[in-house]
Chains A and B, each alone.
Chain A
């Protein structure tokens, strides 16, 4: 049976982390509090080869090589809705929304032939997968592939910048390799988060000051919103710390 899928605009997937292309992260820097999310992909994983092209490759202390996806991400707690999700459940920036939102439920960080399970709605999601919904995926191929190809293309184009960032972090924060090794050894996988300030410094973007100035108030506001929730203590600490980092960077000439 060919999988069918139609979005019902339930807004359930508009919560928590949102992986962005670098171009989208910069374009929406005044909207989303950003962080860099690192996800090791092991050599025996189906998406390993693709991950080596989209991300960086890192040699671990055990002499194994892993691919690492390093993705600029709208860094929101899982329970938090996207700041642009309106009361009526629709998107406040539908015309300009990021590639990631357009391509859902497909996911270009995985091979095109390996997308079928993404069409199964997650718990609580109200996606329409009934016979009345259109066929969107057939013979392991995406039928309307415009958004998928655009997002994948942007990810491939930005890969050299991501590799440069990885080189910087491995040089100046060498202990991250041990953390990546730990994550890679876990059967469930996992990820770690680094600051946007390290990315701005590593890539020497000429617009770093503007991006930092846009980010600082977002981090401040999120620090405030997460202050009293013990479950979000790590988020709160990151938000407050990164707010200071962005304020310091924004003061640079």
Chain B
């Protein structure tokens, strides 16, 4: 039993192993982890077949093979994972060494489930934070603090 390269703390056989072998990933996060493990193990077929059809032709297999081979994969951290029905967002950071330099890859990736299989759709590298939303509270609306009073009679005084 070897521990899974994706840093989940589980064994490879209980984690990314079955997914690399072709089983559907139970969650988008599990698929993301297995795609990382595919790079570590130079099993790029898995990366390629888990691309959404519309981006499949954009995959530079030659470069991916080279990156997989030349990099020393150090760790994967899942920073955030959220699923809603058949779509999901997984934000992650990968630490690796290439050409003698420590590198980080930070990406917010979007996934879609098709026929029970999660697929990688797109990614934003070095994503910007979600825009901050400011909600204006009307003076006569209930106070957002939950007191039950009007805003103007409570926190908005």
Once the chains bind, are B58 and A201 in contact (CB under 8 Å)? yes
Specify which of A168, A198, A245 is in contact with B65 (CB 8 Å cutoff). Answer: A245
In the complex, whether A92 has a CB less than 8 A from a CB of chain B is no
B137 at the interface (CB under 8 A from A): no
Q: Which residue of A lies closest to B65 (CB)?
A: A248
The answer to whether the Cβ of B69 comes within 8 Å of any Cβ in the partner chain is yes
How many residues of A are in contact with the other chain, CB < 8 A?
21
CB-based contact B125/A174 at 8 Å: yes
Q: What's the minimum C-beta distance from A168 to chain B, rounded to whole angstroms?
A: 7
Nearest opposing residue in chain A for B124, CB measure: A174
The answer, yes or no, to whether A134 is at the interface (CB within 8 Å) is no
Residues of chain B in range 49-93 having any CB-CB distance to chain A below 8 Å: 57-63, 65-66, 69-70
- Contact residue among B62, B99, B126 (Cβ-Cβ distance under 8 Å from A248): B62
Known A174-B125, A175-B125: A244·B58 in contact at CB below 8 Å: no
Known: A175-B125, A175-B126, A237-B99. A244 touches B62 (CB 8 A): yes
Cross-chain contact of B60 among A175, A201, A241 (Cβ < 8 A): A201
Contacts of B58 in A (CB 8 A): 168, 171-172, 201-202
Among A178-205, those with CB < 8 Å from B are 195, 197-198, 201-202, 204
B-side interface size class? 10 to 19
Q: Is the CB of B126 within 8 A of A249?
A: no
B125 touches A248 (CB 8 A): no
B61 touches A252 (CB 8 A): yes
Distance, CA A249 to CA B48, complexed state (A): 14
Residue of A168, A241, A248 near B61 (CB, 8 A) is A248
Q: Mark A150-175, 1 if CB is under 8 A from B, else 0.
A: 00000000000000000010011011
A58 within 8 A of B: no
Chain B residues within an 8 Å CB radius of A245: 60, 62-63, 65-66
Closest CB in chain B relative to A249 CB, distance in Å? 4
Q: Is the CB of B57 within 8 A of A204?
A: yes
Given contacts A174-B125, A175-B126, A237-B99, contact A248 B57 (CB under 8 A): no
CB distance from A209 to the nearest CB of B (A): 11
Asked if A14 lies at the interface with its beta carbon under 8 angstroms from chain B, I say no
- Complex formed: what's the CA distance from A247 to B63 in Å? 10
Nearest Cβ distance between residue A148 and chain B, in whole angstroms? 35
> When chains A and B are docked, how far (Å) is the Cα of A174 from the Cα of B123?
11
Q: List 10 A-B pairs, Cβ < 8 Å.
A: A175-B126, A201-B58, A201-B63, A244-B70, A245-B62, A245-B63, A245-B65, A247-B62, A248-B61, A248-B65
